[in-house]
Amino acid sequence: MIALAILAAALSSDPAQPIHVEGRFQVSYTPIYCVRAPCPPGTYSVVVENRLAGQFQTYTVDPASTAALPAAGPGGTEGDGIAIDGEVWIDPATRTARVLVREAMFGLWKTPVPGGGQTADGKPATLTLVNGTGDVIRGLFLAPGTADRWGADVTLESRQNIRIKSTNTYVLPTADCLYDIRIVLGDRPREEIRRQNVCTDPKLTADRSGEIIDRR
- Cα angle 6, 8, 9 (rounded to 5 degrees) comes to 115
pLDDT at 137 (0 to 100): 94
| Residues 88, 25 share a domain | yes
The predicted model gives 86-107 an average pLDDT of 95
pLDDT at 78 (0 to 100): 61
pLDDT at 124 (0 to 100): 83
Q: Of 35-39, 62-66, 145-149, 211-215, where does the model show the most confidence?
A: 62-66
Q: What share of the chain is helix, strand, coil (3-state, %, to 5)?
A: 5, 45, 50
Among 23-27, 79-83, 89-93, 173-177, name the one with the lowest average pLDDT.
Answer: 79-83
The predicted model gives 8-19 an average pLDDT of 61
* 36 inside domain: yes
| Residues 8, 98 share a domain | yes
* 65 inside domain: yes
| Residues 146, 64 share a domain | no
pLDDT at 61 (0 to 100): 95
Which has more confidence, 156 or 144? 144
Query: Which residues span the domain enclosing 166?
Result: 126-209
- pLDDT tens across 164-193, in order? 999 999 999 888 999 999 999 887 678 899
- pLDDT tens across 154-163, in order? 888 777 899 9
* 116 inside domain: no
Closest alpha carbon to 193 in 205, 2, 168: 205
Answer with the one of 106, 138, 159 that is the final residue of a domain: 106
Query: Would you say residue 149 has pLDDT above 50?
Result: yes
| Residues 77, 131 share a domain | no
* Number of domains the chain is built from: 2
Answer with the one of 53, 74, 106 that is the final residue of a domain: 106
Q: Band of the pLDDT at 73, cuts 50, 70, 90? A: low
Answer with the one of 56, 75, 106 that is the final residue of a domain: 106
Q: Band of the pLDDT at 15, cuts 50, 70, 90? A: low
Q: What is the spatial distance between Cα 93 and Cα 87, in angstroms, rounded to a whole number? A: 19
pLDDT at 10 (0 to 100): 43
pLDDT at 97 (0 to 100): 97
| Residues 148, 179 share a domain | yes
- Work out the percent of the chain whose per-residue pLDDT is above 70: 86
Which has more confidence, 210 or 131? 131
Which has more confidence, 102 or 72? 102
pLDDT at 14 (0 to 100): 56
| Residues 141, 186 share a domain | yes
* 215 inside domain: no
Note the pTM of the prediction, 2 decimals: 0.76
* 115 inside domain: no
Task: Tell me the average pLDDT of the chain.
Answer: 85
